[in-house]
Structure 1
Amino acid sequence: MTSINLGHPVDMHVHLRQGEMMKLVTPTVKQGGFSVAYVMPNLVPPVTSPERALEYKQELQALAPDTEFMVTMYLSPEITPEVVADAAKKGVSGIKVYPAGVTTNSDQGVSSYEQYYPVFRAMEEHNLVLNLHGECPSTPQSDITVLNAEERFLPTLGELNKMFPKLRIVLEHCTTKAAVDAVNACDDNVSGSITAHHLSLIIDNWSGNAINFCKPVAKLPSDRDALVAAATSGSPKFFFGSDSAPHPIKNKRTCNNAPAGVFTQSHALTYVAQVFDKAGKLDNLKKFVTDNGRKFYQIENMATSGPEVTVVRKEVVIPGLIGPEDDGVVPFRAGEKLDWTIEWN
């Protein structure tokens, strides 16, 4: 194949930040090939009300009027069943769970799920999506590290699915074969999102390399291969969520405590097409980046007018930096030549 029409792809997990970084990266959603972006709420302070979620959406829409933004709230004590009902009426799409302390801006996250059972029941009733950052916090006492934090979380996914069988749940940014298996073992209303960088990286690629460091971290070659198999299979249980997470290069250069996050937004479809081409599965690319996510989120008709996206077999060089020196972001695979690019037509 030399070109593939993908219609209007959807990226169901993006971080667009605030302030100058928001201004820099928000337009790159379209640049990367996507018509719809599902935006994470881990701002400072976090998005914990429908009013703030809608205000944030307006800020993003002003920066990228050709992109449709879906907004979420951050699970916290401020989120009650009444807030869920109000959010559903006002067009908020989901609620994101961050276990306390596991990643960027997660300090106000969840330590116990039981207190939120009434919220999950309300989400079932009002058809909001529960988005799970599927890791347990790393603690020496529990023998949990970044390498097994996802796998140790997976029983919680199964329990939530059994307790709330009508609740649509996404296990975000799967990184292990165990996660793929757990999603497949759950009901049809449980899906998994997979990033572009986790389709390529293994532990050796981020150990000592802050640009490739993210959470959850990339794992073993066998895990990466399981992710590629799931993504390229065409299964409706899996769809694309970039988890593109920009950090200023000056922060990534920090010797201690470099921030977690890989920036893929500007060339997201290029990275994914490269993986599908290598796997010989380009015929399933549209399912992964367009059809499956739209069906799960029940947005089949959202942002489907206007130009469509085609991936074209044409060499492209990933730039070394996007934005100003020090405050710009280094994109994934910076400086590399890849075989695919996108066109809007």
Structure 2
Amino acid sequence: MNTITLTQPDDWHVHLRDGLALERTVPDLAKQFRRAICMPNLVPPVKTVDEAIAYRNRIMQHVPEGNLFDPRMVLYFTDQTPPDEIAKIKASNCVNAIKLYPAGATTNSDNGVSDIRKVYATIEEMEKHQIPLLLHGEVTHKHVDIFDREKRFLDEVLSPLIQQFPDLKIVLEHITTSDAANFVLEQSKKVAATITPQHLLFNRNDMLVGGVKPHLYCLPILKRQTHQTTLLEVATSGNPKFFLGTDSAPHAQNAKENACGCAGCYSAPTAIELYAQAFDQVGRIERLEGFASHFGADFYGLPRNTDTITLKKEDQVIPERLDYLEDQQIIPLYAGQTIQWRKV
């Protein structure tokens, strides 16, 4: 198969940042995706519907003329998120979910939930109104090994949560392990997961063997090849529980390449081609449309897009760097390397 035409895809997990960063991130994403779930971990975080609408307005100022990009907004779950905010989400035409970061789990997550039991009253309202709960699925206890934090979250946090709220819609974001994939498969259709391009294309050997590759460092961290294999299996299986979420996250080169580098991979400019590369490597390019264009919209209860994009099997060299902010640059995922697909 040398060309493939897809229903225009959506990105169900992306970081656009704010301010000057939007000049880079919004056009990069909008040239590929019609809709995107925009993460709320700004400084300060997006905690109310009114703040989410204001953030959306800032994003829209950077959408290229004639482009129909539709940002979908998310609130940042804190210990103080009131139950009555859920009805406001239900009434909104652009806010779709709440994101729960365990406090300290990733970039700008210090205001996250300290103990999920503290917010059960708000989660009860989410279950009632069928507002999805998006989860960064890791525990943050210092004594827990970083490679085990997703598995511990499934056992200690998510399993009890589902028992307490069996009708709650849940998206386990950017899953990285066989444990998470199998967990999602075992649950009802209310539980789904997003998968990033980096977790399909790379494993921890790629990040660590022959020297540390800071631009492959993300959270949750890359895992063993066996986990990568399982993620490829479920992503390309045609199972609607798994759909596209890039977790594309811009960090300037100097913030990644230092003694305490930031976590995050920037994939937005060529994300759909990177997914095509991963699907094609396992001989399942025909399954890409469901994963990228159908299953996420169905889970969120939104109409599928009607426009299309076409990908051609043709070598493309990913740029080694991209301009970012004033005098800074971003090193994108797969920088300087050749992939076999190109959006035409």
Q: Same fold (TM over 0.5)?
A: yes
SS at match of 2:330: coil
Look up the match of 1:46. 45
How far off its partner does 1:205 sit? Answer: 2.2
How far off its partner does 1:158 sit? Answer: 2.2
How far off its partner does 1:326 sit? Answer: 5.3
Question: Which residue identity does 1:152 align to in structure 2?
Answer: R
In the alignment, the residues of structure 2 paired with residue 252 and residue 314 of structure 1 have an alpha-carbon distance, to the nearest angstrom, of 30
In the alignment, the residues of structure 1 paired with residue 242 and residue 125 of structure 2 have an alpha-carbon distance, to the nearest angstrom, of 25
How far off its partner does 1:90 sit? Answer: 2.1
Look up the match of 2:195. 194
Look up the match of 1:94. 97
Is the counterpart of residue 259 in structure 1 residue 262 in structure 2? yes
In the alignment, the residues of structure 2 paired with residue 11 and residue 43 of structure 1 have an alpha-carbon distance, to the nearest angstrom, of 18
Question: Which residue identity does 2:192 align to in structure 1?
Answer: S
In the alignment, the residues of structure 2 paired with residue 152 and residue 77 of structure 1 have an alpha-carbon distance, to the nearest angstrom, of 21
Question: Which residue identity does 2:162 align to in structure 1?
Answer: N
Look up the match of 2:25. 25
- What does 1:217-256 align with in structure 2 at a 5 Å threshold? 217-255=221-259
**8 Å contact 1:248–1:326 — kept in the other structure?**
no
How far off its partner does 1:159 sit? Answer: 2.0
In the alignment, the residues of structure 2 paired with residue 280 and residue 175 of structure 1 have an alpha-carbon distance, to the nearest angstrom, of 21
Look up the match of 2:331. 330
**8 Å contact 2:176–2:220 — kept in the other structure?**
yes
**8 Å contact 2:29–2:268 — kept in the other structure?**
yes
**8 Å contact 1:250–1:326 — kept in the other structure?**
no
Is the counterpart of residue 104 in structure 1 residue 104 in structure 2? no
- What does 1:107-118 align with in structure 2 at a 5 Å threshold? 107-118=110-121
How far off its partner does 1:152 sit? Answer: 0.5
Question: Which residue identity does 1:251 align to in structure 2?
Answer: A
SS at match of 2:312: strand
Question: Which residue identity does 1:233 align to in structure 2?
Answer: S
Look up the match of 1:79. 81
In the alignment, the residues of structure 2 paired with residue 226 and residue 336 of structure 1 have an alpha-carbon distance, to the nearest angstrom, of 25
Q: Which runs of 5+ in 1 are unaligned?
A: none
TM-score w.r.t. the length of structure 2 is 0.94
Question: Which residue identity does 1:77 align to in structure 2?
Answer: D
How far off its partner does 1:164 sit? Answer: 1.2
Is the counterpart of residue 314 in structure 1 residue 314 in structure 2? yes
Look up the match of 1:280. 283
Look up the match of 1:124. 127
In the alignment, the residues of structure 2 paired with residue 317 and residue 333 of structure 1 have an alpha-carbon distance, to the nearest angstrom, of 9
Q: Report which stretch shifted further, 58-67 or 70-79.
A: 58-67
| % same residue | 35
RMSD over aligned Cα atoms: 1.3
In the alignment, the residues of structure 2 paired with residue 94 and residue 235 of structure 1 have an alpha-carbon distance, to the nearest angstrom, of 22
**8 Å contact 1:202–1:219 — kept in the other structure?**
yes
